[in-house]
Amino acid sequence: MKELDWSSLGFGYMKTDYNVRCYFKDGKWGELETTTSETINLHMAATCLHYGQEAFEGLKAFRGKDGKIRIFRMEENALRLQHSCRGILMEELPVEKFKEAVMKVVKLNEYFVPPYGSGSSLYIRPLLIGTGAQIGVRPANEYLFLVLVTPVGPYFKEGFKTTPVVILRKYDRAAPLGTGTIKVGGNYAASLVPGAKAHEMGYSAVLYLDAREKRYVDECGPANFFGIKNNTYITPESTSILPSITNKSLIQLAESMGMTVERRQIPVEELSSFEEAGMCGTAAVISPISRIDDMDENKSYIYSEDGKPGKICEKLYNKLQGIQYGDEPDSFGWVTILE
C-alpha cells in the first residue's frame, strides 16, 4: 500500500481496513463482530431513517514518541452515548462493550494511527442506530452499534491558528429543553444551513446563542465555546449545549494551572471583555477565535489581528495535546494505552 502523507490529512473520511459492529435483538446485545464492509443492510422502515433514532460519538487515538497508541477518555464517551440513548429512547450500550469495541477497532486498524510528529490522529466514530421497523412514532426494538475509524488532521484547515466565527440570530441549533445536550444527528442537520452560510461568508463556524432569548452564548457549530479574562476560564452553562469532554478536560487543566474557572451564562455583551476566545472539542481540539462578528447587530469582537493564538489558549493546547500524545504525564488518568 502507498504510504499516506500523514501530515497533510484534513478532517474527512478515508477507508480503513475494518469496522466493528454489535446488534441488539430479542432484548439483548450480541457479541462484537468484525467486518471489512463499508455498508449497512438496513430495513427501509428503520427508525433511524424516519424518526432520527440515532446517536454518535467522537474520540481519538494518538501515537506517542514511544510508538504506543493512546485512546483519550473513552469511558466518558461511553457514558455520553448512554445519556444520548436515554434522550431518544434507544437501548443503552454497556460501557464495557463500548470500550471493548473501541479498543478492538483501533487495534485492527493500527496501521492507520498516524505517526508521532505528523500532528494527525485516528478519529474514532461510534454510531448507534434504531434498525427495527416502525411506522408509528415509536422506538425500535432492534439496534445496531458500529465503530468506524479514519485518520484525520485538523478539523479547521488552518490548524492551530485563529479563525473568525459568526453569530447568525435567525438560526437555532437546538431548543432550550430539546436535544442539544445529546449527540444526535438532528442537531447537526439543523446546523447545516447556518453552517453553509457561515462558510460562504468566510467564517469557520457559527456561534449559536440561547434559542429562547438570544441573550447568552451557547456553543460553536461542532465545539464548545470558552473565553479567557483575568486569568479566568469562562464557559457557558446552558441546557442546549453538548457536554464536551474536551471542555471538561480543559477546565481541569486550567484549574491545575492556577486559573479560576467559571461555568455560567455568558451574556453576549461580555464577549467584548474577553482577552482570548476559543472553540474546543475532539475534532476542533482548541481552535482559537480571531474575531466574532454579530451579523444582525453589526458588532465585532476582536481577539487576534495576526492569526496568532493567545498565550493561554496556547498553554492549554500544549498541555492537552502533550497528555494525548504521551509527552506529558497522564496525571488525571485520562489515557488508555492499547496493549
Binding site for ligand COI (CB under 6 A): 58, 222, 281-283
304 is an interface residue for ligand PLP by CB under 6 A: no
Minimum distance of ligand COI from residue 242's CB (angstroms) = 9
Residue 64 backbone phi and psi in degrees, to 5: -90, 175
In sequence order, what are the residues at sequence separation of 6 or more whose Cβ sits closer than 8 angstroms to the Cβ of residue 333?
none
What does 244 bind: ligand PLP, ligand COI, none (CB cut-off 5 to 8 Å by kind)?
ligand PLP
Looking at residue 53, its amino acid is: Q
Kindly identify the residues of this chain, within the stretch 51-110, that bind ligand PLP according to CB under 6 A.
Answer: 58
- 9/284 with CB nearer ligand PLP: 284
What does 195 bind: ligand PLP, ligand COI, none (CB cut-off 5 to 8 Å by kind)?
none
Residue 102 backbone phi and psi in degrees, to 5: -65, -45
Q: Which three cell numbers stand for residue 243?
A: 457536554
Task: Choose, by CB under 6 A, the member of 19, 121, 224, 235 that binds ligand PLP.
Answer: 224
Site map (CB under 6 A) of ligand PLP, residues 235-274, x = contact: -------x-xxxx---------------------------
Rounded CA gap, 267 and 217, in Å? 6
What does 219 bind: ligand PLP, ligand COI, none (CB cut-off 5 to 8 Å by kind)?
ligand PLP
Rounded CA gap, 88 and 94, in Å? 17
- 301/334 with CB nearer ligand COI: 334
Q: Which three cell numbers stand for residue 8?
A: 497533510
Helix, coil or strand: residue 44: coil
Q: Find, among 196, 246, 254, 247, the residue nearest to 221 by Cα.
A: 196
Task: Choose, by CB under 6 A, the member of 186, 281, 309, 310 that binds ligand PLP.
Answer: 281
- 9/245 with CB nearer ligand PLP: 245
In the block, cell 487576534 appears at 304
In sequence order, what are the residues at sequence separation of 6 or more whose Cβ sits closer than 8 angstroms to the Cβ of residue 153?
7, 8, 9, 10, 11, 119, 120, 159
Minimum distance of ligand COI from residue 298's CB (angstroms) = 30
- The CB density around residue 162, as the number of other CB atoms within 10 Å, is 25
282 is an interface residue for ligand PLP by CB under 6 A: yes
Minimum distance of ligand PLP from residue 57's CB (angstroms) = 8
Quote the crossing angle between the two packed helices 245-256 and 74-87, to the nearest 10°: 130
What does 242 bind: ligand COI, ligand PLP, none (CB cut-off 5 to 8 Å by kind)?
ligand PLP
Q: Return residues touching ligand PLP (CB under 6 A).
A: 58, 219, 222-224, 242, 244-247, 281-282
